[in-house]
Amino acid sequence: MNRFLASVIGFAALSLTAMSLHAQDLVFKSKSDHATLVELFSSEGCSSCPPAEAWVSNLKTSPGLWTEIFPVAFHVDYWDGLGWPDRFAKSVYTERQRNYAAQLGQDSVYTPEFVVSGHEWRGWFHGDRSPSAETRTSGELTLLAVNGGTKVSATYTPNASSITQVYTLNVALLGVNIVSDVRSGENGGRQLTHDFVVLDFASKPMTDGPRFQSGPIDLKPSTNDSPGAIVAWVSAPNGEIVQMTGGWLKAGTNQVSLR
């Protein structure tokens, strides 16, 4: 009986998407042939952004979270000089949005903007409940997150037909349930709640196919907020997203961090 119980427990542990190795070490594995990366470009200085952030926050209860849908919220810095410096904003996130604009033929950048699996999505402005765009993902992506997600590495094994590609690993460290008291600017006097807000982001080439590896990546939150989740995705040279994974970094993600 003891051997049987041990076998059952061992099988159950291996079947989890995120498996504890040590106290703060987690492994995330892709598990869906169809998944959607939702990128929101936002700012605490933009009065139109809180409703978009609220929509993203609702994804916390989506049954497809971390299997079919992976949300990240990049805060841009071009609002910072208009009354309120956003502590989450970085120029590299603005550059990411501008690169999308150039790639997608947009005349300008704006907030809030949704980019879904690499394509501009305006459905939110028309009341659509969820993006219809889907990425057909392939191969297996495994992400190892050490020390609460501040050090990561990954391997990606593509389908046999695509082993000659060159791939890039993208990793976003996310804050969840963070509340800000905004004292000036368009949202002055408001208390804003942020979920899936990017605290740090890194991209790194993956080498040594056909089992591609990223090597170690160090991530550091740009604020004093504790990271609550992590998302990683692999992109091809043309920008196509080929696989993604991620999830919660720790228990207690419903706790609010007030700054």
Q: Is residue 12 part of a domain?
A: no
Q: Is residue 47 part of a domain?
A: yes
Predicted confidence (pLDDT) per residue in 164-191, tens digit: 678 999 999 999 999 999 999 999 999 9
Q: Is residue 8 part of a domain?
A: no
Distance CA 231, CA 229 (A): 7
What is the per-residue pLDDT for 16? 39
Predicted confidence (pLDDT) per residue in 186-232, tens digit: 999 999 999 999 999 999 999 887 889 998 999 999 999 999 999 99
- The structure's pTM equals 0.87
* Structural domain count of the chain: 1
Q: Is residue 88 part of a domain?
A: yes
What is the per-residue pLDDT for 132? 67
What's the whole-number mean pLDDT along residues 149-154? 94
Q: Is residue 254 part of a domain?
A: yes
Q: Is residue 100 part of a domain?
A: yes
Secondary structure (3-state) at 40: strand
Q: Please list, residue by residue across 36-48, b when 16 or more beta carbons sit within 10 angstroms of its beta carbon and e when fewer do.
A: bbbbbbbbbbbee
**CA–centroid distance for 197 within its chain:** 8
Q: Which residue has the higher pLDDT, 216 or 6?
A: 216
Q: Is residue 55 part of a domain?
A: yes
| Residue-number span of the structural domain to which 59 is assigned | 18-258
What is the per-residue pLDDT for 161? 62
Kindly report whether the peptide bond that precedes residue 112 is cis, defined as omega within 30 degrees of 0: yes
Q: Is residue 118 part of a domain?
A: yes
